Structure 1
Amino acid sequence: MDVLPVTSPAPGMHHGMHRNSPTSFKLPPIFRRIHRFQQMDFEQAAWQLTYLCLAPKRVYRNVYFHKQTKNTWARDDPAILILIGACLCVSAVAWSVVYSYSIRQIIMLAFLMILRDFLLVGIFNATLLWFFSNRVLLSPPSHSTPGDARVEWAYAFDVHTNAFFPFYLSLYLAQLFLVSIILKNNWVCLFISNTLYLAGFAQYIYGVYLGLNALPFLVRTELLLAPLLPLLTGYIVSLLGFNVAQHVLPLYFGS
């Protein structure tokens, strides 16, 4: 993680100095402060998680205030990571009840959900978004463009974090309550199953779009919605007889 570019140059800093500066490569504050529970604002994090489902655009209105006060677009409070981790632990326990897992298997499943599904996938997606945004979506330089008009890696990880929670509600929580229905062999159950997966991935893609669209120096952010087309195409084709849950759940839970 110490090789990920996460900071923006300070106002007035020469671009060449920024590229050669060792401070350009360091762990984002949201990870460095993960152990400082007394400084975390869990109430604000809970508010953000709620509005990520009800009105996600409201969450991104705060990034302007954060940029003005702390000179960074990315959040530095890891409370939201703790809350999502706790939600994944609860899901791990619930899914373990469904599959009659042992205590050891419950712990392993919780680590799998947190470390692989959320963090490792998030690091990969954030790196991809950071690279794509800075290479393709930056607006052409102009006199009005600020010197630090680049997407921070930490902000790209924020975008993943925000987009992950609605995805979690669809495929880790709602799917749990519907598991006895979506695994049945009839077309109605297939339709419910595949629609659930469509909703989860579509929410993630749309959440990513909203996060990067909130940055004023990015253009053509509608390109981020392009994965919706193959997703919808695959969904329509799957309704001919391919139940996604019947194939994904045995692979995930090994049964």
Structure 2
Amino acid sequence: MKYPTSPTPTANHHYPNYPRSTSPLPAPANYQPTVASAAVKRYKYLRRLFKFNQMDFEFAAWQMVYLFIAPQKVFRNFNYRKHTKSQFARDDPAFLVLLSVWLFASSVCFALAMGLGWGKVLLFVLFVVFVDFIGAGILVSTLFWVVSNKYLRRDVDGPDVEWGYAFDVHINAFFPPLSLLHCFQILLFNNLLVHGGFLSCLVSNTFWLASIVYYLYITFLGYSNLPTLHNTRIFLLPLPVLFIAYLGSLLAGWNLSHMLMDFYHHRVL
């Protein structure tokens, strides 16, 4: 007697209108249209932003660790949320709060490593938080949200990508580069990176290469996690160009960390 076999995890058997997904992550167990409007979800999210006793910081810290070692596991949790709460985007701001604290602390350390005074340290932190993180994050998230909804959806009449999810993908992808460039790189700054020479350039530009690769790969995982999208490999298309630019920067002796330091010094003058 033959028993029916269960479908593979990546097969969109609960999405009859979509072909088999090429995503490296399993599709949600079922699909439920989002009931709450974007305004309602945004209101609930912001209302919890200062209710620290309702946030799961332990789970948010777990996500930060796994964004380095196994980012696929983080996005599987987004699938579970879609199954249980009918939305992919986070409803718990704990990750955003922890990331903001990490960004503040790392920016202060970064500014002190550059030898800035306390007044310029404050100005530097304000620039990093409100321009580099919030401002750039909203612009990048909105750009990817528009592109994915306009060009990557399998069915224009099907479910669209939530803006909140696009922002979640961005902050997920933002955390590893932030840690590499604002934290781990600082440990080598005064002993190696502040000096010239090929070794300094190699280490510095390799940090930048790893950071951008992390960002692109996690962004790809985030959008390929959505069974309503296809052709999400476009987020990986810059990788060959990125590697060629990396080799070119080494041959030209362009130390990206030094260039960033010069930019930051001029920014806070």
Asked if the contact 2:159–2:228 (Cα under 8 Å) also holds between the matched residues in 1, the reply is: yes
Q: Does 1:234 align with 2:227?
A: no
Specify the code of the residue in structure 1 equivalent to 2:181.
Answer: L
Listed as ranges, the matches of 1:147-158 within 5 Å are 149-158=159-168
Q: Report the equivalent of 1:61.
A: 76
Alpha-carbon distance in structure 2 between the residues aligned to 1:87 and 1:123: 19
Alpha-carbon distance in structure 1 between the residues aligned to 2:51 and 2:232: 35
Q: Does 1:34 align with 2:49?
A: yes
Alpha-carbon distance in structure 1 between the residues aligned to 2:171 and 2:78: 14
Cα offset for 1:249? 1.1
Q: Does 1:159 align with 2:159?
A: no
Q: Report the equivalent of 2:185.
A: 175
Residue number among 105, 124, 129 corresponding to 2:144 in the alignment: 129
RMSD: 2.2
* Residues 168 and 107 (structure 1), Cα distance of their counterparts in 2 relative to 1, 3 Å cut: same
Q: Report the equivalent of 1:144.
A: none
Alpha-carbon distance in structure 2 between the residues aligned to 1:90 and 1:71: 35
SS of corresponding position for 1:151: coil
* Residues 152 and 98 (structure 1), Cα distance of their counterparts in 2 relative to 1, 3 Å cut: same
Larger deviation, residues 191-200 vs 25-34: 25-34
Specify the code of the residue in structure 1 equivalent to 2:170.
Answer: H
Instruction: Give the aligned length.
Output: 233
Q: Report the equivalent of 1:215.
A: 226
* Residues 12 and 47 (structure 1), Cα distance of their counterparts in 2 relative to 1, 3 Å cut: closer
What's the CA shift string for 1:24-70, capped at 9, x where partnerless?
Answer: 55672434421121211101100111111110000011111111221
Residue number among 178, 182, 199 corresponding to 1:188 in the alignment: 199
Q: Give the alignment's TM-score, normalised by structure 1.
A: 0.84
Residue number among 209, 220, 245 corresponding to 2:257 in the alignment: 245
SS of corresponding position for 1:149: coil
Listed as ranges, the matches of 1:22-101 within 5 Å are 23-25=37-39, 28=42, 29-101=44-116
Specify the code of the residue in structure 2 equivalent to 1:231.
Answer: L
Cα offset for 1:228? 1.6
- Where does structure 2 lack aligned partners over 5 or more consecutive residues? 1-31
Alpha-carbon distance in structure 2 between the residues aligned to 1:210 and 1:11: 22
Larger deviation, residues 99-108 vs 214-223: 99-108
* Residues 41 and 12 (structure 1), Cα distance of their counterparts in 2 relative to 1, 3 Å cut: closer
Q: Report the equivalent of 1:5.
A: none
Cα offset for 1:87? 0.8
* Residues 103 and 246 (structure 1), Cα distance of their counterparts in 2 relative to 1, 3 Å cut: closer
* Residues 249 and 222 (structure 1), Cα distance of their counterparts in 2 relative to 1, 3 Å cut: same
Asked if the contact 2:34–2:87 (Cα under 8 Å) also holds between the matched residues in 1, the reply is: no
Alpha-carbon distance in structure 2 between the residues aligned to 1:174 and 1:160: 21
Q: Does 1:120 align with 2:132?
A: no
Alpha-carbon distance in structure 2 between the residues aligned to 1:218 and 1:50: 27
Specify the code of the residue in structure 1 equivalent to 2:173.
Answer: A
